[in-house]
A = this chain, B = another copy of it.
Amino acid sequence: MQKKYLRIYNDLVKRIQSNSWTIGDLLPSENELAAQYDTSRETIRKALDLLSQNGYIQKVRGKGSVIINRNQFSFPVSGIESFTELTEKMALNSRTIVHSIKYLDPKNESMEILKGNPNEKVWNVNRIREIDGEKVILDKDYFNDKYIPLLTEEICQGSIYNYIENELGLVIGFAQKEIVVENPTEEDRELLDLEGFSNVVVIRSQVHLDDASLFQITESRHRPDKFRFVDFARRVKN
């Protein structure tokens, strides 16, 4: 038995995407939806909250829930998505080159973030992403070996996230990321086709598991013309 509010949410998404309504239209009222789906209003409200969070509707007090313009096919809506997911969605012609896999002692590095037990070690994977034949992204990942006991070239060649979530059964909880523009390092110049660009866009993130433990830090270095970030922000109510 699936969660009821998720079933309703998914159903409403389908109905919205199949243009049962157009932009500016009102959804049926919460009471009406509660009757339609034979459930309580609070459960309907949970489904609508999800629609709102994901940018499908905007609720207006006294009026109803307005369908809003959601740029479909855009980059992650302020979410956590992996390169493989992105390229699939964008139908990009891409390739991953595993440049190096190392098993590090985090003492000497600035990896003390992935601390905890001083005996723990850290996996470091550097991968180059090629889009349309050009090397444009350098991904540097660091994993705590407490959670990822083994990394092989085969795993890194595919989607590490797929391996983590489906094979190891770990569940990603939340991530904090930072985006800045920096000068290219020697490594960038060596591994990427910078084509004279004098900057790289750097996305640094800390990824935590479902139980709030830090298990990965990441540095994704993009040639600036191959970078785009889309965000959907909602004013905090108070």
Contact = CB atoms under 8 A, between A and B. Distances in A.
14 contacts: A6-B238, A24-B212, A54-B236, A55-B174, A55-B176, A79-B233, A176-B232, A176-B233, A177-B232, A178-B228, A178-B231, A181-B225, A181-B227, A197-B198
Contacts of A197: 198-199
A83 to B, nearest CB: 15
Interface string A193-229: 0000111010000001011100000000000110111
Interface residues of A, number: 46
A68 interface: yes
Nearest to A180: B228
Interface of A: 6, 24, 54-55, 58, 60, 63, 66, 68, 71, 74, 78-80, 171-181, 197-199, 201, 208, 210-212, 224-225, 227-236, 238
